[in-house]
Amino acid sequence: MAVGSINADLVAEKSVTAQRANYAYGSNFEMNLGGKSLNVALTALALSNDVALISRIGNDIFGLEILNKAMKDGLITQYITIDEQAHTGIGHVRVDENGQYDTIVINGANWNLIEEDIDAFISDGYRPKFAIFNFETDINLLKKVIPKFKQINSQIVINFSPIVNNMRDLMNLTDIAVLNLAEAQQILESSESNPEELLKKLKSFGPNIVVITLGGDGAVAINSDGLVIKVPAQVAKVKNTVGAGDGFLACLIYSIAQELSLEQSLINATYVGKIICSKSEASLSAKDVLVLNSEPSFIRKIKTTLSSKG
């Protein structure tokens, strides 16, 4: 299960035409489901079942459309609150001709998530194997609610993204930490560029597993025994990198839940990142899973329940 953000991603693909005065011309526009937490939940749902998301949307055309689509996909949506005081989160995404992007995020209802929203989920008897968080949610709220999941023996997974102040404060509550190189350097207040050195320092703060994603250079991780593992990226024809990291994370946790090795879990996750990079949508679909299953190096076992009761 995931706790956090839902955004309407308003995606503009920039044209190769040069910017003129105040205008940057676009070649395409789409509205996609977005927000780091929703991206993770939908990709996990494509691989598994019984996935829940605790979040908030506004009572507006964006939020209601997203809620409707998520319900049709089979996501557990009863813990998505319709907030009457704020609009649905918005991600204003600009994608360049190489598929790279920048985003202006307006948090909206995401920032109104409260402790009671999480309490309702736990009170209903859910005992998720993994609880996944990121910093599109107020870090002060996370400090309050993460211990509640630890009390019910959930493994705590934190994507240390986007960069916020005091991220290091949550390292000692984390079982699996996932971040990119810049985020690792920010937490450690270091200019160190060797991922292996960064991994060792980050692990000293408490996580069992730390993963650093390296974009086109793949990913590197340190396991509970202190062994460093590196896997290459899968070559992709990049259309849009939005959500690739979220998909990587969702597949990584799905694979670990299947008791696959950390190395194989990383390999699986790179395949999901490749697929998401090659399309407009920021999460995996059931059709995409058929492609994954045809990859000889992708190992998938039986479906698992990631947010089960009991």
Note whether residue 299 is domain-resident: no
pTM: 0.93
Q: How many domains does the chain have?
A: 1
CATH number for 205:
3.40.1190.20
Distances (CA, A) of 194 to 19, 197, 201, 212, 221: 37, 6, 11, 11, 12
Residue 164: pLDDT over 50: yes
pLDDT band of residue 290 (cuts 50, 70, 90) is very high
3-state secondary structure of 190: coil
Q: 2: closest CA among 29, 27, 24, 35?
A: 35
Instruction: Please give the Cα distance from 11 to 13 (Å, whole number).
Output: 7
Residue 220, pLDDT > 60, answer yes
Looking at the domain assignment, is residue 305 inside a domain?
Answer: no
- In-domain check, residue 110: yes
Sheet holding 155-159, edge to edge: 80-83, 53-58, 2-3, 130-134, 155-159, 176-180, 209-213, 219-222, 228-231
Domain holding 39, by residue range, is 2-293
Q: Which of 55-64, 79-88, 101-110 has the lowest mean pLDDT?
A: 101-110
For residue 310, pLDDT over 50 is answered with: no
Question: Looking at the domain assignment, is residue 307 inside a domain?
Answer: no
Residue 303 located in a structural domain: no
What is the rounded distance in angstroms from the CA atom of residue 276 to the CA atom of residue 288?
Answer: 9
Contact of 222 with 203, CB cutoff 8 Å:
yes
Judged against a pLDDT cut of 70, whether residue 307 lies above it is answered with no
Out of 40-44, 116-120, 235-239, 294-298, which region has the weakest mean confidence (pLDDT)?
Answer: 235-239
User: Would you give the end-to-end CA distance of the chain in angstroms?
Assistant: 14
